[in-house]
Amino acid sequence: MNQLIIGDLSSWSARAWICLKLADLPFDELMLRLVPNTIMHMPDYSDSSLVPVLKVGKVKIHDSLAIAEYVNELVQGRLLPEDAMQRAQARSLVAEMHSGFMALRTECPFKLSDWKIPKPSERLSFEVQRLERLWGEAQTPFYWGKPTMVDAFYAPMAYRLHCYGQHFTGQAGAYQTQLIEWELFQAILQKMRLWSVN
């Protein structure tokens, strides 16, 4: 059986976990407590010292985006929209989440409870507005109507913003609420809450 190695306070792990569940693929999971510098001494789990990692036999697929794309291939593309143009846009959204929003990541680290931003930077405000614009274009209940990897990638961000006191109104807010309440997101959140010491 494939094994997904994830971390207790890891939004990237949550994204990979949701993709596997969305694809309905069987897997075992191993949750590691993310104490700084521990994973680098656990090469059996992760060569990169980061989670998530999906172990498929002897092969370790690391990085949430690589796992999402691998899983998408296994289920004949079900994790992305069928339409080619929408698929390209969906990939842009996933890529932007994966490589962007650096101020949000730095100034608002992923937490499991409410938190305050000391003094938001200009860049952080821009990124929050950017998310509001993107999410304002979402369909309901999911970005492309049916759940895709876009929703898996944005769900932890929806919750993160909520924890930092940012809840959008209008369509962006409706989408944010839907992501937070999504049963797959709530399921991984509960696991992390049980496992985390924070």
Ligand X SMILES: N[C@@H](CCC(=O)N[C@@H](CS)C(=O)NCC(=O)O)C(=O)O
Q: Summarize as ranges the residues that interact with ligand X (CB under 6 A).
A: 7, 10-12, 34, 36, 38-39, 50-52, 63-65, 98
Q: Are the C-beta atoms of residues 144 and 86 closer than 8 Å to each other?
A: yes
- 171 or 196: whose CB is closer to ligand X? 196
For the CB of residue 55, give the shortest distance to ligand X in the complex, in Å: 14
For the CB of residue 47, give the shortest distance to ligand X in the complex, in Å: 12
For the CB of residue 152, give the shortest distance to ligand X in the complex, in Å: 12
- 62 or 143: whose CB is closer to ligand X? 62
For the CB of residue 33, give the shortest distance to ligand X in the complex, in Å: 10
Query: With helix as H, strand as E and coil as C, how does the chain read?
Result: CCEEEEECCCHHHHHHHHHHHHCCCCCEEEEECCCCCCHHHCCCCCCCCCCCEEEECCEEEECHHHHHHHHHHHCCCCCCCCCHHHHHHHHHHHHHHHHCCHHHHHHCCCCCCCCCCCCCCHHHHHHHHHHHHHHHCCCCCECEEECCHHHHHHHHHHHHHHHCCCCCCHHHHHHHHHHHHCHHHHHHHHHHHHHCCC
For the CB of residue 127, give the shortest distance to ligand X in the complex, in Å: 17
For the CB of residue 9, give the shortest distance to ligand X in the complex, in Å: 7
- 67 or 172: whose CB is closer to ligand X? 67
Tokens representing residue 197 in the block:
């010491």
Rg (CA), the chain: 16
- 15 or 132: whose CB is closer to ligand X? 15
- 152 or 184: whose CB is closer to ligand X? 152
- 39 or 180: whose CB is closer to ligand X? 39
